[in-house]
Amino acid sequence: MQTIHELFAQTAEVMQGKPLFERPGKPAISFAETLVLVERMATVLGDLGVTVGDRVAVQVEKSPEAIALYLATLQVGAIYLPLNTAYTGAELDYFISDATPRLFVCDPAQVKAHAARASATLAVETLGANADGSLADRAAKAIPREDSVPRGKDDPASILYTSGTTGRSKGAVLTHGNLASNAEALLECWRFDANDRLIHALPIFHIHGLFVAVNMAVVSGATMVLLTKFDAEEIIGLMDRGTVLMGVPTFYTRLLKSPNLTREATANMRVFVSGSAPLLAEDHRAFQERTGHMILERYGMTETGMIASNPYEGERIPGAVGMGLPGVSVRIADRETGAAVPTGEIGLIEVKGPNVFQGYWNMPEKTAAEFRDGWFITGDLGTIEADGYLRIVGRDKDLVISGGYNVYPKEIEEIIDALPGVLESAVIGLPHPDLGEGVTAVIVPKPGADLDTDALRSALSDKLARFKQPKRFILADALPRNVMGKVQKAELRKAHAALYA
Ligand code: MLC
Ligand code: AMP
């Protein structure tokens, strides 16, 4: 098999001077230039002692150099570990102690906070959004390394942390085979090729922005218009030369708010892809009415990459996520017995295929618990109707998805419960007009305690990334429980459904 790095290098030889990266107000960077940058970074990684199987942890702003670092990590056979730029120092401590990386790359502005992490086994370097930082300086002087370390399909390429419903975050280990097979399936499915210009406004520390968007572009020879953050007007302005946009549902909710989103503005666009969270059927219909484009919704997960997609040709159904990608099998299983359920009935969505991850880093029991007869249990509830389309109807796992970011209530509840004056808490997702779901904490104070929501908010600020912090706090006398003593979150969601309306 060929790795994503090898596929990129091969494409770069063909594409040569064609732009891979375009950025507003900055010069374009071609495939050939990027290839040299990747090869220089590969030399630097070697100089820093990074060898096969070492982890390279990266918490940097989005830039072509950050993507080059990702590709260089694959080239030298190391394992790429991207981290959300919103993570706090406390959150980083855990990822670094669990993954024991050989190298940690952070933003130059953060180096003071992280310099003390450096040790005989961990190098700390910096990389900024403007090709600055110690790693960029080293790369500028390095001699390009052309050879790549041969890797097989089962060799690990990346670790992405995803929180669990119990306890600590788990590092999902994705292999070279996972990444390459998924990119190839998506290229075929969405007819994506070197003629495309992808408007890239997603972060590059999750599978959506990195293993879907970036991998597809670097392998196919497409050009990416790299934007540092989502800005509806900027994106609409770029559509006259763009062909593809990939986004979370919040992108589409926000685009629809602009009067400039019109049929004319989107005339050059070929396809709008949505995923990472449920797209509202009303947004789907409104987008079609306004632009004439049917958004193409797909379904994926960190542990599996992309699983299913509505067809490029053929009917795209609002509220459905389509069929399994080429080579990917999807089934609906009974929650208790694991037996396949009859057509149209609700059960757990389970997945098998070359896209499914190898397991959680150093957690064999947790890995085993999420597989049944070779099928990976997604924790999502769905149906496959007689039309063959998969529809996601809910979640068996306790998870909130806010603006496309996953937030695990358990992690937040544990931190809130440890605060003075708190008896217990329940964190829930409530319908939110912009983010899909708004993270909300229902808190029961200890008898006699006088809880102040501002104090609660500031107590969480250095412990949790901003997107995980509750948007609202609700004080309650007690939490609703069933006869087994389990907190009834569905009841809480019903009682407070209109909080953000
Ligand atoms: C930002 N904030 C959020 C947030 N994003 N809060 C909750 N949920 C979010 N998703 C915070 C900011 O820190 C800020 O806090 C405040 O909210 C307002 O910020 P903003 O300027 O409105 O946010 P913006 O930068 O516009 O970001 C919103 C967004 C972004 C939706 C564009 O969150 C985003 O890019 N989401 C994409 C996530 C993603 O890539 N998911 C893919 C996962 S892969 P304050 O208080 O400081 O002002 C996956 C698998 C699959 O799930 O299938 O793809
Ligand atoms: P993550 O763990 O961040 O990879 O998030 C994966 C989860 O996002 C899935 O298990 C689903 O719950 C959710 N998800 C992804 N795509 C969709 C979609 N199109 N519709 C509904 N939920 C989705």
Tell me, what's the pLDDT at 167?
61
Of the bound ligands, which one is closest to the alpha carbon of residue 394? 2
Q: For residue 309, what are the contacts with CB-CB under 8 A and spacing of at least 6?
A: 186, 189, 190, 296, 297, 298, 299, 321, 322, 323, 325
Tell me, what's the pLDDT at 166?
63
Q: How would you class 27 by CB atoms within 10 Å of its CB: exposed for 0-12, middle for 13-18, buried for 19 or more?
A: exposed
How many domains would you assign to the chain?
3
Whether residue 319 sits in one domain with residue 236: yes
Q: For the ranges 205-214, 356-365, 480-489, which has the lowest average pLDDT? A: 480-489
For residue 416, which of 500, 363, 476, 352 has the smallest C-alpha distance? Answer: 476
pLDDT tens digit sequence for 160-194:
999 766 667 999 999 999 999 999 999 999 999 99
Rounded Cα distance, 401 and 403, in Å: 6
CA 322 – ligand 2 centroid, Å:
14
Of the bound ligands, which one is closest to the alpha carbon of residue 202? 1
* Spatial contact of 171 and 360, defined as CB atoms under 8 Å apart: yes
Q: Check if 300 has its Cβ closer than 6 Å to any atom of ligand 1.
A: yes
Q: Find the mean pLDDT for residues 10-21.
A: 98
CA 251 – ligand 1 centroid, Å:
10
CA dihedral 315, 320, 323, 324 (to 10 degrees): 150
* Spatial contact of 274 and 298, defined as CB atoms under 8 Å apart: yes
What is the CATH number for 444?
A: 3.30.300.30
**Is 475 domain-assigned?**
yes
pLDDT tens digit sequence for 191-235:
999 999 999 999 999 999 999 999 999 999 999 999 999 999 999
Q: Check if 248 has its Cβ closer than 6 Å to any atom of ligand 1.
A: yes
**Is 211 domain-assigned?**
no
Q: Out of 347, 380, 395, pick the residue that ends a domain.
A: 395
Whether residue 341 sits in one domain with residue 292: yes
| pLDDT at residue 427 is higher than 70 | yes
CA 278 – ligand 2 centroid, Å:
7
What separation in angstroms does the CA of 188 have from each of 253, 294, 309, 377? Answer: 28, 19, 12, 26
Q: Out of 374, 395, 416, pick the residue that ends a domain.
A: 395
Whether residue 478 sits in one domain with residue 344: no
Rounded Cα distance, 319 and 388, in Å: 14
Whether residue 298 sits in one domain with residue 150: no
**Is 204 domain-assigned?**
no
Ligand 2 atom 10 nearest Cα: 301
Confidence of residue 485 (pLDDT cuts 50, 70, 90): confident
CA 59 – ligand 2 centroid, Å:
23
Task: State both tokens at 120.
Answer: 């005989």
Task: State both tokens at 288.
Answer: 């079609």
CA 429 – ligand 1 centroid, Å:
15
Whether residue 404 sits in one domain with residue 384: no
Of the bound ligands, which one is closest to the alpha carbon of residue 400? 2
**Is 210 domain-assigned?**
no
Determine what percent of the chain is predicted with pLDDT higher than 90.
97
Q: For residue 45, what are the contacts with CB-CB under 8 A and spacing of at least 6?
A: 56, 72, 73, 76, 78, 103
**Is 424 domain-assigned?**
yes
| pLDDT at residue 428 is higher than 90 | yes
For a mutational test of ligand 2's pocket, the pick from 246, 283, 392, i.e. the residue with the most ligand atoms closer than 8 A to its C-beta, is: 392
Whether residue 68 sits in one domain with residue 175: yes
Whether residue 433 sits in one domain with residue 289: no
CA 178 – ligand 1 centroid, Å:
26
Scanning 257-310, the segments in alpha helix (DSSP H) are 281-291
Q: Find the mean pLDDT for residues 378-400.
A: 95
Q: For the ranges 163-172, 432-441, 478-487, which has the lowest average pLDDT? A: 163-172
* Spatial contact of 310 and 391, defined as CB atoms under 8 Å apart: no
Confidence of residue 456 (pLDDT cuts 50, 70, 90): very high
CA 379 – ligand 2 centroid, Å:
10
Scanning 190-322, the segments in alpha helix (DSSP H) are 215-220, 232-238, 249-256, 281-291
Q: Find the mean pLDDT for residues 109-129.
A: 95
Q: Check if 435 has its Cβ closer than 6 Å to any atom of ligand 1.
A: yes
Ligand 2 atom 12 nearest Cα: 380
Whether residue 421 sits in one domain with residue 387: no
Whether residue 152 sits in one domain with residue 48: yes
What is the CATH number for 145?
A: 3.40.50.12780
Rounded Cα distance, 310 and 193, in Å: 18
Q: Check if 83 has its Cβ closer than 6 Å to any atom of ligand 2.
A: no
CA 179 – ligand 1 centroid, Å:
24
Q: Find the mean pLDDT for residues 136-163.
A: 96
Q: Check if 397 has its Cβ closer than 6 Å to any atom of ligand 2.
A: no
Q: Looking at ligand 1, which atom is closest to the CA of residue 86?
A: 13
Whether residue 384 sits in one domain with residue 237: yes
Q: Check if 402 has its Cβ closer than 6 Å to any atom of ligand 1.
A: yes
Rounded Cα distance, 209 and 259, in Å: 27
Ligand 1 atom 31 nearest Cα: 403
Whether residue 404 sits in one domain with residue 377: no
CA 13 – ligand 1 centroid, Å:
36
Q: Out of 371, 395, 419, pick the residue that ends a domain.
A: 395
**Is 197 domain-assigned?**
no
Confidence of residue 316 (pLDDT cuts 50, 70, 90): very high
Q: Rounded to 5 degrees, what angle do the CA atoms 146, 142, 39 make?
A: 30
**Is 386 domain-assigned?**
yes
Tell me, what's the pLDDT at 306?
98
CA 274 – ligand 2 centroid, Å:
11
Whether residue 157 sits in one domain with residue 32: yes
Tell me, what's the pLDDT at 483?
85
**Is 202 domain-assigned?**
no
CA 405 – ligand 1 centroid, Å:
7
For a mutational test of ligand 1's pocket, the pick from 178, 435, 469, i.e. the residue with the most ligand atoms closer than 8 A to its C-beta, is: 435
Q: What are the percentages of helix, strand and coil residues in the chain, rounded to 5? A: 30, 25, 40
For a mutational test of ligand 1's pocket, the pick from 230, 297, 355, 437, i.e. the residue with the most ligand atoms closer than 8 A to its C-beta, is: 230
Q: Check if 191 has its Cβ closer than 6 Å to any atom of ligand 1.
A: no
pTM for the model stands at 0.96
Tell me, what's the pLDDT at 163?
78
CA 248 – ligand 2 centroid, Å:
10
> Where in the sequence is the domain holding 427, given as residue range(s)?
399-495
Of the bound ligands, which one is closest to the alpha carbon of residue 161? 2
